[in-house]
Structure 1
Amino acid sequence: MPLRDLLLGLVIVAIWAFNIIVIKLGVEELPPLLMTTLRFLLVAALLVPFHPVARHQLPFLMLLSATFGTLHFALLFIGLGQAEAGTGALLVQMGTPFATLLAVIFLGERLSAKRLLGLGLSFGGVVVLAGGPSLPSPLPMSLLLVSALGWAVSQLLIKKGPHLAPMTLAGWTALFAVPQVALGSWWFEQDQMSAMINAGWFGWGAVLYTAVMSSIAAYGLWYGLLRRHPVSRLAPLSLLVPAGAVILGIVLLGETLNAHIVFGGAMVIAGVGLIVIRFRALLGSV
């Protein structure tokens, strides 16, 4: 991989790792479902006018908005409001093992010994993380794992659904998710108007960063790299995101590094690595 593309990949990793910190700070000023709603509104406003879709594609996009927009993102924001950023970033990585299991069950994909070992390590890592002090109760872990499951279901839907450009998917799923998450905010949260009026740099900055930097800029750059390089080369870079989030959580938020995060996180990352990295292809391209 040329040095320019490697550096670009590291910039993307940094954007996504910092995104976890930004969400954590943002939900301290804005209720999580309200913040998710505002983020979706901004993403939709920036993308939908420039990415039209056919009418027959709308049902698929509405379904995807429920799994990817509401189930994944809404629960991610809520879960990160109650868990440490580093732990949350590690638990969200369970989307890959979940997607692997769903592909085996519903798509008939075969489970190799390497991927089976990866699944065992990943789920073992979750057990270790669950025993640590960085989760105040079982609730945030459950929310983050269901968020990861929502991501996994969405990946299967995208794989089997109509072919649409990534920014088209992002814009329209955000648009259809707005009323779903807004209804959740209206039902479960209070004083939304007061929260928006009183929100400062962290709250509104989080809305802007998660919409523009993480969802649009970073993903746009990432798919550009995917067009130039095989997945086997880029997968190891994506595994740096949770490690970066752990480090940023310690440096910027004063979170602590304990044995549960070290060993549990290492198990999760190693397990996901075994699932996603094609080592033969990677070695063959060196």
Structure 2
Amino acid sequence: MPLRHVLLALFVVAIWGFNFVVIKLSVEALPPILAAALRFFCAALPAVFFVRPPKAPWWLVAGFGLAFGFALYSFLNLSIAWGMSAGLSSLVLQSQAFFTMALAFVILGERPRRMQVIGALIAFAGIAIIATERMAATALLPLGMTLMAAVSWGLANVLTKKAGRVNAVAFTVWGALAAPIPLLGLSLWVEGPQTVLSALAGFGWREMAIIAFLAYPATILAGAIWSWLLGQHPTSAVAPFTLLVPITGLLSGYLVFGETITLIEVGGGLLVIAGLIVTVIRGRASEPRVRFD
């Protein structure tokens, strides 16, 4: 990947790492599934009135929205509301890189290169070290729901890749449109109409700022850049960058909530970085350069 594309991927990593802190704030301020519904409602509207639909099959756009918006954030928001810390959530969710590679192999026939597999294994060892350090304080159900969120993200990545080189902003915005109604329906069913109405009645500037960050920088901007990168490069070359999200997620959790970072976690983080370096090494010197235009 060209250096400019690597820097774009790292920019997305920084946003998504801090995103977990803001998600935790959102589920403390609002019912968790309702928070996800408001996030994607704001991400889709009013943008859909100004952005043309992407040149991709409607089922791919809707499938991406349901996988990335409905499934991922239903599982993730509930897991954080039920006890997963912001830092540990950012860590466990990055198993999506491996689900992405596996699904891309099954659905798209993409075969990761040997160095990518080795790098992923090194990074996974780092994630396992950090998870072992933090797992004792985490219930099994929230952990399992975070893993389901990771599977959902992996599916969203593969659907994005299958869509090809479409307009990334249009794909993200119109995909987001598929999520709010199912999320709102799930919120009314799980959290109850009275809880939803009470939360909406008390919606203020703090809640608005939280949802605005989740909807625009974390969903539209970062999601559009990510979709564009997936359209330019093999899935197995892009997805491993998210293995750095636990680093920014753990740091954000420490700075905002005082979540501690131990020496063992630092060691695991260094392994994650080492795995990423190995993963993005070019397997072939003839890899074509892609212009950003």
TM range (shorter): 0.7 to 0.9
Q: Structure 2: where are the runs of 5+ without partners?
A: none
Q: How does 1:2-151 map to 2 (within 5 A)?
A: 12-53=12-53, 57-81=57-81, 82-133=83-134, 135-151=137-153
**Given residue 181 of structure 1, which amino acid in structure 2 is its aligned partner?**
L
1:95–1:152 CA contact under 8 A, matched in 2: yes
The count of aligned residue pairs is 285
2:172–2:224 CA contact under 8 A, matched in 1: no
Query: CA–CA distance in 2 between the matches of 1:236 and 1:153?
Result: 15
Q: Deviations over 1:140-175 (max 9, x none)?
A: 222222112111111212222365311222222221
Q: Structure 1: where are the runs of 5+ without partners?
A: none
- Bigger drift between 244-253 and 193-202 goes to 193-202
Q: Secondary structure at the match of 2:254?
A: helix
Paired residue for 2:163? 161
Paired residue for 2:221? 217
- Provide the TM-score with structure 2 as the length reference: 0.78
Paired residue for 1:203? 207
Distance 1:142 1:78, change over 3 A: same
**Given residue 62 of structure 1, which amino acid in structure 2 is its aligned partner?**
A
Query: CA–CA distance in 1 between the matches of 2:177 and 2:246?
Result: 28
- Bigger drift between 78-87 and 26-35 goes to 78-87
Pairwise CA RMSD: 3.9
Distance 1:55 1:186, change over 3 A: farther
Shift of 1:34: 0.1
Query: CA–CA distance in 1 between the matches of 2:246 and 2:123?
Result: 13
Distance 1:119 1:18, change over 3 A: closer
Distance 1:262 1:150, change over 3 A: same
Distance 1:258 1:197, change over 3 A: farther
State yes or no: 1:258 paired with 2:262.
yes
1:27–1:203 CA contact under 8 A, matched in 2: no
**Given residue 99 of structure 2, which amino acid in structure 1 is its aligned partner?**
F
Shift of 1:235: 8.4
Shift of 1:46: 2.9
Distance 1:243 1:54, change over 3 A: closer
1:94–1:268 CA contact under 8 A, matched in 2: no
Paired residue for 1:175? 177
- Provide the TM-score with structure 1 as the length reference: 0.80
- Bigger drift between 244-253 and 130-139 goes to 130-139
Distance 1:260 1:143, change over 3 A: farther
